[in-house]
Amino acid sequence: MAARRFSQAISEGDGISVLVDVHDAESARAAEGQGAEALVVDSLVDAVRAATELPILCRASNSLASTAGAGADACLLVVADHREEDDRLERLYAEALELGLDCVVEVRSDEELELALERLDPEIFLLSRARDDGEDAVDRALDLLPDVPAGKLAMAEVAVSTRDEVVELERAGFDAVIVGARDVAELVGHAPPQV
């Protein structure tokens, strides 16, 4: 496990944390060099872990044990995938915590947010990933944000292309934003450290 847990990476310091969605070791090293505070992967956790010490959020549907074993610091639980009334959502959440993973809970509607709070009371929420309903992702994330209780961490996964858009999310109250691999230094808003 990395020296910093995922939740610490997005809660410490001033301002909003920029997390970068990477696909390989090269893009992970580039994101770290440009000031990313954590990484997001869909696969290849072990290759990315070997390339960086940044905390890693894994969105893959692998077993939680294999996700933790590959070096991820956090996993994603999507409420929409586990809405049924049995206790699978709760079991997965408990397993993630038992394995030492931070658990990011993705919600896309008021109903999913309420369900997550009632059944899990998680520390970290991911608001608004792409849906095919035509609603703007930023608007949906901003609509959900006021219902996230104080003391919880709120992340957004929305398309941003400028520092001003990142600052707008920060002013709204988001703790972190997930962006695609690109010129991250511009979004972070400060010069990357000299290596």
pLDDT at 133 over 80: no
State the virtual CA torsion across 43, 68, 195, 189 in degrees, nearest 10. 70
The pLDDT mean for the chain works out to 88
DSSP H or E run through 66? helix 64-69
Closest listed residue to residue 154, CA positions, set 184, 113, 111, 100: 113
Does residue 72 have a pLDDT over 90?
yes
- Report the percent of the chain where pLDDT is more than 90: 66
Distance of CA 145 to the CA centre of its chain: 15
pLDDT at 84 over 80: no
**DSSP assignment letter at 100:** T
Low-confidence winner among 63-77, 105-119, 129-143, 158-172 (lowest mean pLDDT): 129-143
**How far, in Å, CA of 108 to CA of 122, rounded?**
15
Averaged pLDDT for residues 117-132: 85
In the prediction, which pLDDT does 180 show? 86
Give the mean model confidence (pLDDT) for residues 160-177.
92
CA distance 67 to 64: 5
Of the segments 24-28, 125-129, 182-186, which one has the largest average pLDDT value? 24-28
As a whole number, mean pLDDT of residues 89-103 equals: 95
Residue 1 · residue 9 · CB < 8 Å? no
- What residues contact residue 39 under an 8 Å CB cut-off, 6+ apart? 19, 20, 21, 22, 28, 31, 32, 48, 52, 54, 55, 56, 57
Instruction: Pick the more confident residue, 192 or 123.
Output: 123
6-188: CATH topology is TIM Barrel (3.20.20)
Contact (CB, 8 A) for 141 and 135 = no
**How far is residue 43 from each of residues 65, 91, 138, measured CA to CA in Å?**
14, 23, 26
* C-alpha–C-alpha distance, residues 147 and 152, integer Å: 11
- Asked if residue 40 lies in contact with residue 63, where contact means CB atoms within 8 angstroms, the answer is no
Higher pLDDT, 156 or 130: 156
Domain boundaries, given as residue ranges, for the chain: 6-188
Q: Read off the pLDDT band of 134 (50, 70, 90).
A: low
Sign of the torsion formed by the C-alpha atoms of 119, 124, 128 and 130: negative
Contact present, 55 and 39 (Cβ < 8 Å): yes
pLDDT band of 182, cuts 50, 70, 90? confident
- What pLDDT does 130 receive? 56
pLDDT digits (tens, 9 = 90+) for 20-69: 999 999 999 999 999 999 999 998 889 999 999 999 999 988 899 999 99
Tell me: pLDDT of 3 over 50: no
With beta carbons less than 8 A apart as the criterion, state whether 21 and 187 touch.
no
